[in-house]
């Protein structure tokens, strides 16, 4: 009776039918196989083997083959002449018993359903009996990580002094969960995911033997979905075989709920270049809800990642046609925008995993992305192309790609026609578009009603002191001024110390630099986001990703701005302010650090008033005292802060620095 004879009377699925039965049939895993073969050749066996690795990579099959080899009648022959001897022979009584699953000395235990300590005690008891037909009794504990801690501890005993005739094989997909004491007593073999080319060859081989009609693209589609797992690949192959007459890319995509590549690229183009209406039309056209949202999620990230590569002149894969398509789509798209899309997906990943309405959630994200196209199309879209063309690598790539693209340029499905509706589209949304210019003309829009006279004066002082470089920078200054409407002096002080770095309209990323010493206020900024973020978003009229960095020089901009501001405040308010407590700071512009030794009391005051310290500042007592000795004092010094607070009671505004003397 041959092997096929054994199993031909049962209809096995492909994964079981084509399970490896000898070392040669194991796909990949060369190192593990070599170690086991050497162990057999030298007749030296470890009492415990630990096979770890991802699912469907051959751990259980290898364990069975090894068990068969250990008890095979050919073993002595193999040890004399390893090259010309087949091991396991698969023909002797022992080998056949293992193939049929009824070998008395090979015991398979599924730890997932036998997790308790009693099961392990049973194993330990039975292991003391001699093997019946083989030379070793072999226990295969599958999913070993599922064993309870008590069970593991019970195992430890027998692992320390195992009977000569027993071998344990623990197989696990999660070796992290195997306790260290067990690991250290076992020989650990790793089973990695199988290389794509090996898996492809294996699938093609099976298709030919099973007479399954197939083409290369179909096989590749299966392989790329199986993530190196032979079993997963065979299971997909089986599903496709029963659902279609041939294994092609389309039949595989249908089974897996995957959208075809052309529709996917059309969707990607919509996201980057068209408006919300076009996007919704596109989604409607390809019956979006029929496809796996997880796959769409992954694919859009993949496409964006590839686009970033192409933008930097590196081709992400060998398909020139694919790279051409992507390159055409991203011509007018900045790197920042692509990066924004990546971040948007990653930021929402945990929600996406949890939600039951994955399609809707994905659609929301898509709309959020395309809505920016509406805004930029409407406002003239002047900044984006400039940004793009300044990247030299990108230009080079366009040159390289365009030569071919003119002749065989890909036609991208239905979406190319969508551009026509764009004007209509833009007007559709025009009501929602808030022109930032309007804010510029009237920066006090938000706080108009509650701006009192003093706030206005402070605001002017701040505006005067800001070096205005761009509209975005100007809006930032407006924001600082508008913070007067939020009665939070700490927030005011922190923000007005910030130095505008950059703002990107497309990604919405606003970068602001603060002095290093303000880094412990970072939490305060985040905690109070509800107070200031709406103002910021309203002024910039879009969603903002606020990126503070605390890398600034301790003196940069902070003192300069505030010094001017306070001297203006002093001028404007005259004697109504207690001028003793506000320094004659104008003399210190740009050279605050030079005035040393003027604050002998600051450290002791700070300690005395420790209970007054704000949040994390409290724990930084020593650092503060060191860095502040002999320097101008800012709000993080509590002694001064008390006085500052008194002033702020009367004048809601921003004080960042003043001197004590
Ligand atoms: Zn045999």
Please give the distance, rounded to the nearest whole angstrom, from the Cα atom of residue 171 to the centre of ligand 1: 23
pLDDT along the chain (661 residues), means of 10: 43 82 90 93 92 91 93 92 89 91 89 78 82 88 88 82 88 90 90 92 92 92 90 92 90 87 89 90 85 90 93 85 90 90 93 91 92 69 37 39 37 38 35 39 41 49 50 82 75 80 82 80 81 84 84 55 44 43 39 39 41 38 38 50 57 53 44
Query: In this predicted structure, what is the pLDDT of residue 95?
Result: 92
Please give the distance, rounded to the nearest whole angstrom, from the Cα atom of residue 97 to the centre of ligand 1: 9
Please give the distance, rounded to the nearest whole angstrom, from the Cα atom of residue 75 to the centre of ligand 1: 8
Tokens read off for 576:
């109504």
Please give the distance, rounded to the nearest whole angstrom, from the Cα atom of residue 71 to the centre of ligand 1: 7
**Listed residue (597, 590, 658, 608) closest to 630, CA to CA:** 597
First vs last C-alpha separation in the chain:
104
Instruction: Work out the burial of residue 37: count CB atoms within 10 Å of its CB; fewer than 13 is exposed, 13-18 middle, 19 or more buried.
Output: middle
Please give the distance, rounded to the nearest whole angstrom, from the Cα atom of residue 193 to the centre of ligand 1: 29
Kindly list the protein residues that place their beta carbon closer than 5 angstroms to ligand 1, a single-atom ion.
Answer: 72, 88-89, 92, 95
Please give the distance, rounded to the nearest whole angstrom, from the Cα atom of residue 472 to the centre of ligand 1: 79
Residue 26: phi and psi, rounded to 5, are -70, 130
Please give the distance, rounded to the nearest whole angstrom, from the Cα atom of residue 87 to the centre of ligand 1: 7
Please give the distance, rounded to the nearest whole angstrom, from the Cα atom of residue 361 to the centre of ligand 1: 57
Tokens read off for 554:
């301790």
Please give the distance, rounded to the nearest whole angstrom, from the Cα atom of residue 194 to the centre of ligand 1: 28
Please give the distance, rounded to the nearest whole angstrom, from the Cα atom of residue 16 to the centre of ligand 1: 20
Query: In this predicted structure, what is the pLDDT of residue 79?
Result: 92
Residues 628 and 430: their CA atoms lie apart, in Å, by 52
143 contacts: CB under 8 Å, gap ≥ 6: 110, 111, 112, 171, 172, 173
**Listed residue (269, 338, 311, 273) closest to 401, CA to CA:** 311
520 contacts: CB under 8 Å, gap ≥ 6: 615, 616, 617, 620, 636
Query: In this predicted structure, what is the pLDDT of residue 305?
Result: 94
Residues 52 and 62: their CA atoms lie apart, in Å, by 12
Please give the distance, rounded to the nearest whole angstrom, from the Cα atom of residue 68 to the centre of ligand 1: 7
Residues 277 and 421: their CA atoms lie apart, in Å, by 9
CB 614 within 8 A of CB 527: no
**Listed residue (600, 605, 585, 592) closest to 658, CA to CA:** 585
Please give the distance, rounded to the nearest whole angstrom, from the Cα atom of residue 63 to the centre of ligand 1: 15
Residues 437 and 474: their CA atoms lie apart, in Å, by 11
Within 13 Å of residue 223, how many CA atoms lie on the same side as its CB?
18
Please give the distance, rounded to the nearest whole angstrom, from the Cα atom of residue 32 to the centre of ligand 1: 21
Please give the distance, rounded to the nearest whole angstrom, from the Cα atom of residue 143 to the centre of ligand 1: 27
Please give the distance, rounded to the nearest whole angstrom, from the Cα atom of residue 9 to the centre of ligand 1: 22
Please give the distance, rounded to the nearest whole angstrom, from the Cα atom of residue 92 to the centre of ligand 1: 4
Please give the distance, rounded to the nearest whole angstrom, from the Cα atom of residue 393 to the centre of ligand 1: 62
Instruction: Enumerate domains of the chain plus CATH numbers.
Output: 3-191 (3.40.50.300), 196-256 (1.10.8.60), 261-431 (no CATH), 436-559 (no CATH)
CB 147 within 8 A of CB 182: no
Residues 40 and 355: their CA atoms lie apart, in Å, by 52
Residues 122 and 102: their CA atoms lie apart, in Å, by 19
Residues 412 and 262: their CA atoms lie apart, in Å, by 7
Query: In this predicted structure, what is the pLDDT of residue 426?
Result: 36
What is the DSSP-derived secondary structure letter of residue 189? E
Please give the distance, rounded to the nearest whole angstrom, from the Cα atom of residue 103 to the centre of ligand 1: 12
């Amino acid at each position: 009776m041959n092997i096929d004879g054994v199993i031909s009377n049962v209809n096995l699925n492909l994964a079981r039918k084509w399970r490896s039965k000898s070392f040669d049939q194991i796909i990949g895993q060369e190192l593990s196989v070599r170690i086991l073969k050497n162990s057999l050749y030298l007749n030296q066996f470890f009492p415990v083997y630990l096979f770890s690795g991802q699912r469907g990579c051959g751990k259980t099959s290898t364990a069975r083959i090894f068990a068969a080899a250990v008890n095979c009648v050919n073993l002595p022959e193999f040890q004399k002449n390893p090259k010309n001897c087949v091991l396991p022979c698969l023909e002797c009584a022992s080998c056949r018993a293992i193939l049929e699953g009824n070998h008395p000395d090979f015991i398979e235990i599924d730890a997932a359903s036998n997790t308790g300590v009693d099961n392990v005690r049973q194993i330990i008891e039975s292991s003391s009996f001699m093997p019946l037909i083989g030379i070793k009794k072999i226990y295969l504990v599958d999913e070993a990580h599922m064993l309870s801690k008590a069970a593991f501890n019970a195992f430890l005993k027998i692992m320390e002094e195992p009977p000569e005739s027993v071998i344990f094989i623990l197989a696990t997909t999660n070796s992290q969960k195997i306790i260290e004491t067990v690991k250290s007593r076992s020989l650990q073999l790793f089973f990695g995911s199988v290389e794509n080319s090996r898996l492809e060859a294996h699938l093609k081989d099976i298709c030919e033997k099973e007479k399954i009609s197939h083409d290369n693209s179909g096989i590749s589609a299966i392989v790329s979905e199986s993530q190196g797992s032979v079993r997963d690949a065979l299971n997909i192959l089986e599903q496709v075989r029963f659902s279609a007459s041939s294994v092609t890319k389309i039949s595989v995509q249908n089974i897996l709920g995957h959208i075809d590549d052309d529709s996917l690229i059309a969707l990607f183009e919509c996201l980057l270049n068209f408006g919300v209406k076009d996007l919704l039309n596109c989604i409607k056209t390809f019956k979006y809800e029929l496809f796996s949202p997880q796959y769409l999620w992954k694919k859009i990230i993949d496409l964006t990642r590839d686009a970033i590569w192409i933008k930097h002149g590196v081709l992400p894969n060998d398909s020139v046609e694919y790279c051409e398509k992507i390159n055409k789509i991203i011509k007018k798209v900045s790197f920042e925008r692509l990066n924004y899309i990546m971040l948007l997906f990653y930021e929402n990943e945990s929600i996406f995993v949890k939600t039951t309405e994955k399609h809707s959630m994905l659609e929301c994200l898509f709309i959020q992305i395309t809505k920016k196209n509406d805004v930029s199309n409407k406002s003239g879209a002047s900044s984006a192309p400039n940004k793009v063309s300044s990247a030299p690598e990108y230009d080079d790539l366009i040159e390289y790609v365009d030569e071919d693209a003119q002749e065989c340029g890909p036609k991208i499905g239905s979406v190319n026609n969508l551009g026509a509706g764009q004007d209509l589209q833009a007007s559709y949304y025009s009501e929602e578009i808030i022109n930032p210019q309007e804010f510029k003309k009237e920066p006090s829009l938000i706080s108009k009603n509650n701006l009192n006279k003093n706030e206005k004066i402070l605001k002017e002082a701040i505006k005067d002191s800001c070096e205005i470089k761009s509209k975005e920078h100007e809006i930032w200054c407006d924001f600082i001024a508008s913070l007067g409407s939020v009665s939070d002096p700490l927030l005011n002080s922190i923000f007005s110390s910030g130095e505008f770095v950059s703002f990107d309209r497309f990604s919405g990323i606003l970068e602001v630099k603060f002095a290093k010493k303000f880094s412990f206020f970072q939490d305060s900024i985040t905690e109070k986001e509800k107070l200031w973020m709406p103002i910021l978003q309203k002024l910039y009229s879009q969603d903002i990703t606020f990126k503070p960095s605390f890398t600034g020089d301790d003196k940069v901009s902070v003192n300069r701005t505030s010094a001017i501001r306070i001297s203006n405040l002093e001028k404007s308010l005259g004697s109504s302010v207690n001028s003793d407590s506000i320094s004659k700071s104008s003399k210190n512009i740009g050279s605050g650090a030079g005035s040393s030794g003027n604050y002998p009391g600051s450290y002791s005051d700070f300690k005395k008033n420790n209970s007054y310290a704000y949040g994390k500042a409290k724990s930084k007592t020593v650092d503060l005292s060191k860095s502040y000795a002999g320097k101008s004092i800012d709000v993080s010094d509590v002694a001064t802060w008390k006085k500052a607070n008194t002033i702020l009671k009367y004048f809601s505004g921003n004080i960042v620095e003043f001197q004590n003397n």
